[in-house]
Amino acid sequence: MLDVPTNTEKSHADGKILQRVTDGVGVITFNNPTKRNAMSLDMWEGLGSALVELRDNPDVRVVILTGAGDKAFVSGADISQFEKVRHNAAASEEYSKKSEAQRALLANYPKPIIACIRGFCLGGGMQVAMAADIRIASDNSQFGIPAAKLGIAYGYDGLRHLVSLVGPSWARLIMYTGMKIDAAEAVRIGLVDRVLPDAGLWEATMEIARTISGNAPLAIKAAKITIAEVLKDESKRDMAAIKAVGTACMDSEDFREGRTAFMEKRKPQFKGK
C-alpha cells in the first residue's frame, strides 16, 4: 500500500476529493477507489475548490496530486455518467464547459504541481497528470488514452500536453490504438519523469516536494513562467512577463537571503518576497 497520509483536513465532492497540508506541501487525493478514482463532474468541481484553497494558502508552496487506494491514480472519466451528461455532441460540449474552469486552473496553476501516480492513469487521468509540472510513477503504473475505443475526440489541451511530452509520432500511436503503456515505456518516451518501486513512491515524492518547498518561491515562479512561455509559439511569448519575474527575483529579499546563507554556510530561509 502507498503510505498516503489519511488525516485530511478538508473534503470536497462528498468526500471524493480530499485536501490536506503538511510541511509546506498541499496534498489533493482523488478518493473514489471503488471506481478506481474515475472523475465525475462533481469531482472536477471539488478539485477546483481544493486547488483554489491551496493556491491562496501562503503556507503551501507545492501541491501533490495522488489517488486513494492501490489500483489507480485516476482511471479516467466516470463513464457511468456518459449516458446522462455526454450522450451526444451538444451534451458533451456542455459537460466540457462545466469542467473548463477547473482544467484551466490546473493548467495555469501558479505553484508547482507533482502527480504521484500508481496503478491506472487513463483518459481524463492522463489529462490531469499531463497538466502537472512533474510526474512521478510507481513501477506498477499503466498509462493510456482509450478515446478511440469509446468513440470520443480527446480535447485540444490534452493532446497539446501529450505532444509536448512524447512528440507527435508517439501521440499518434497512443491515440490511434488506445494502447496501455507500462511504467518502463512511459519513462522512456518522456510521459513520466521518474519511475520508482511502489513501496517507496510516496516518500520519494514527498522528498521532492519538500525540496521544492524549501527553495526560493520567486525563483521557482520565474522558472515556471519562463518554461511555459518557451513552450508557446514564438509569436505568442510574453517576454515582458519573463523579464518582470526575473527582475522581481533579483530585487527580492530571498535573493539577499540566498547570498547571505551561502556565505554563512547555512540553510537559507526563504519567504517568497
- Structure confidence at residue 93 (pLDDT): 67
Lowest-confidence region among 81-90, 161-170, 171-180, 222-231: 81-90
Average pLDDT value for residue range 58-84: 83
Q: What percent of the chain has pLDDT over 70?
A: 90
Name the pTM for this structure: 0.88
- Specify the pairing of strand 142-144 against strand 181-182: antiparallel
The structural domains of the chain, with segments of one domain joined by +, span 10-213, 216-263
What confidence tens digit (pLDDT) does each residue in 102-140 have? Answer: 888 998 999 999 999 999 999 999 999 999 999 999 999
Q: What is the C-alpha R_g of the chain?
A: 19
- Structure confidence at residue 2 (pLDDT): 43
- Structure confidence at residue 64 (pLDDT): 98
Whether residue 19 contacts residue 10, with contact meaning beta carbons closer than 8 Å, is answered with yes
- Structure confidence at residue 53 (pLDDT): 96
Architecture of domain 10-213: Alpha-Beta Complex (3.90)
- Structure confidence at residue 94 (pLDDT): 63
Sign, CA dihedral 156-130-72-37, equals negative
List the one residue out of 104, 133, 153 whose CA is nearest residue 212. Answer: 133
